[in-house]
Amino acid sequence: MMKRLDFNTQQSGLWVPSGTQTPRRHPLALITMLLTGLFLAACDANNAAERSEAALQQEKDAVLATIEKETAAFFARDYDNWKSTYVQEEYAFQAWSNRDGTFDSSVGWENIDNTVGKYIHENPEPVSSHPIVERKNITFKFYGDDVAYLTWDQFNSDRKGEVFFHSKEVRLMEKIDGTWKIVCVSAFWDFKNLISVDKLPDIRRMDKENRGKDKI
């Protein structure tokens, strides 16, 4: 004897035996679930981006801290602190332009130490030839986690603070044992076109980091 089957109304174009149908989800509930999932995913992405940006800013601050420490230590004639900011390897490099149009350079830590380090030892009195130094339009480029390249505009006052010299600066940095150190210093100074001290407010209005605006 054949068993009688009871059939329900049609669902999604199919007839199914009574008692076996799957409950239909309300379309609004499905949309709500989808939107909630998208919102949570967007929140996670934003939080990850914020964490990444915060980590990047931390590295930038650490790089600049080393650069500023090197400058302060040199003018304070603090040899040990000055030395601690450099990669002490044969590939370290310094170069800068002179007033007469020539340039000086030192290749390798030993030569840097024999030039700048020797100067510090022979001139121990803390005297700053550039008491005001403004770094502006800084451009960062990180190569992985341990190498950073920077360029910026630097404005260096004379000893009396009456005029400023403009220089274009380049630094290559290397992170060693968790600390950023200087590998390369290149400084190109304009000794001819001096900037009057009354331009200092304009200099200070310039962006610290390069965003392509507020240039003088």
The pLDDT tens digits for 141-165 are 999 999 999 999 999 999 999 999 9
Point out the least confidently predicted range of 34-48, 80-94, 135-149, 176-190: 34-48
User: How many Å apart are CA 15 and CA 206, to the nearest integer?
Assistant: 74
Tell me which DSSP letter residue 2 carries.
P
Query: Would you state the structure tokens that stand for residue 93, as one six-digit string?
Result: 């490099």
User: How many Å apart are CA 92 and CA 26, to the nearest integer?
Assistant: 69
- Specify the pairing of strand 179-196 against strand 163-176: antiparallel
Whether the pLDDT of residue 216 is over 60: the answer is no
Which has the closest alpha carbon to 184: 62, 57, 70, 59? 70
pLDDT mean over 167-194: 98
143 touches 54 (CB < 8 A): no
139 touches 151 (CB < 8 A): yes
pTM: 0.74
67 touches 182 (CB < 8 A): yes
Which has the closest alpha carbon to 186: 90, 104, 74, 65? 104
Whether the pLDDT of residue 10 is over 50: the answer is no
Whether the pLDDT of residue 68 is over 60: the answer is yes
Query: Would you state the structure tokens that stand for residue 189, as one six-digit string?
Result: 């100074």
Higher pLDDT, 31 or 77: 77
pLDDT score of 157 = 97
